[in-house]
A = this chain, B = another copy of it.
Amino acid sequence: MVHYNGKKVPSVVIKRLPRYYRYLGELLKQDIKRISSNVLSTKMNVTASQIRQDFNYFGGFGQQGYGYNVEFLYREIGEILGLHEGYKTIIVGAGHLGHALANHSTFEKRGFRLAGIFDIDETIIGKEINGVKIMHIDTLEEFIAQNGIDIAILATPRAVVQDMANRLVACGIKGLWNFSYVELKTDQPVAIENVHLSDSLMTLSYKIKQGDEE
């Protein structure tokens, strides 16, 4: 289900793109101009041949012998990831998770713009988090229509997340970033990414149990 220019790309390859992107961003900060797939491989804990295979899904990004041009690669991967689109996001749910996400400075750095936060709690409507206003959920549809919102971050209680998803999909939202442990069902096509924090905790647990330490 994950494609690029009509070609099927394995999910594991897609999942590595943000990691490549982050690492290339760090190289850029250090003013490093070129990197070989071997060095990239060591840093990313992926074999060099896997990196070349990964990149081949997207056209290859230049000659392997000579190494990759860091800035070019960073820009290309950012483009493929849609980070130059300036996607506009809203957060639905201004509880602790919504607050934490609104304060997460990395999202803006990656090109996402937080346009609004929605909640049902009258006592916090009109307040701001990180300079972004909390609005009443009753104004959700109107706000999305007027502001061309692309992505909704679902940080609501579990009990209402499916209802919220339905409303958002009906508004033509393009993507749902779902933090609840509910498998969303939608009657119209929409991109969905579920965050399962406990997967990461279980991976840590594995490392402890199996004695894998850094």
Which residues of A does B touch, CB under 8 Å?
A: 1-4, 11-12, 14-15, 17-19, 21-22, 45, 80-83, 85, 87, 95-97, 99-101, 103-104, 106-107, 109-110, 112, 150-151, 174-177, 181, 186, 189-193, 195-214
Contacts and interface: CB of A to CB of B under 8 A. Distances in A.
A151 to B, nearest CB: 7
B206 A80 contact: yes
A202 B110 contact: yes
Contacts of A14: 203, 206
- Give the oligomeric copy count: 2
The winner among A83, A186, A207 for most chain B CB atoms within 10 A is: A207
Given A177-B200, A200-B195, A208-B87, A1 B45 contact: yes
A73 B192 CA distance: 28
Contacts of A189: 213-214
Contacts of A1: 45, 212, 214
Contacts of A193: 200-201, 203-204, 207
A201 B211 CA distance: 31
B2 A210 contact: yes
B110 A206 contact: no
Contact of A208 (B104, B110, B175, B198): B175
A106 B198 contact: yes
A205 B96 CA distance: 24
Given A18-B196, A104-B197, A81 B206 contact: yes
